Copies of this chain bind each other. A is one copy, B any other.
């Protein structure tokens, strides 16, 4: 029942981007940040429901597959769910359509009091106001012995890292300089202590780095 994190960050450490516009709600930079991940066969199958076998099958895809393996529950921040971008939409159900790729209970950390939303494909969104420890206990209670993923964004992930709750942190480092956004590594001096580290470079230029304990 490991607690896991997987994030895409830029070489300068940003896990979010700042060039969103109404016409392009993710922004160009987000596309560049996650390009190698989105190009994988696994992402195309799991997120785009593309069963054609299209997509890359190299190192990036190995980590994309691992991303979805053995996850029994997920925790994410309100920003990742999209509440910050859609504060006034009472029917907002996240970015991922009717059949989100999670296929497990997802706990969204928010002060909003909302009933759970059951989606197609096994994903149910639960809305809770809780400390990292409390949220993790709730997630582990329904994870069926599988791992719990802290999905993001970086502020949520950092709170779990600082609390010492994360067993494995995988970052895909895109070799681009964004210059602004939310940094993953801020205020985490000495994080590496207590973890072993390994890294691997992908054909795309992305560096995959894994802290594990």
Contacts and interface: CB of A to CB of B under 8 A. Distances in A.
Task: State the majority secondary structure of interface residues on A.
Answer: loop
Interface stretch (A74-82, A90-98, A185-193): A185-193
Contacts of A198: 205
Q: How many copies does the complex hold?
A: 2
A85 interface: no
Q: Which bucket holds chain A's interface residue count? A: 20 to 34
A47 interface: no
A11 interface: yes
Interface stretch (A60-68, A99-107, A174-182): A174-182
A186 B186 CA distance: 14
A177 B201 contact: no
Nearest to A32: B192
Contact of A190 (B177, B185, B205): B177
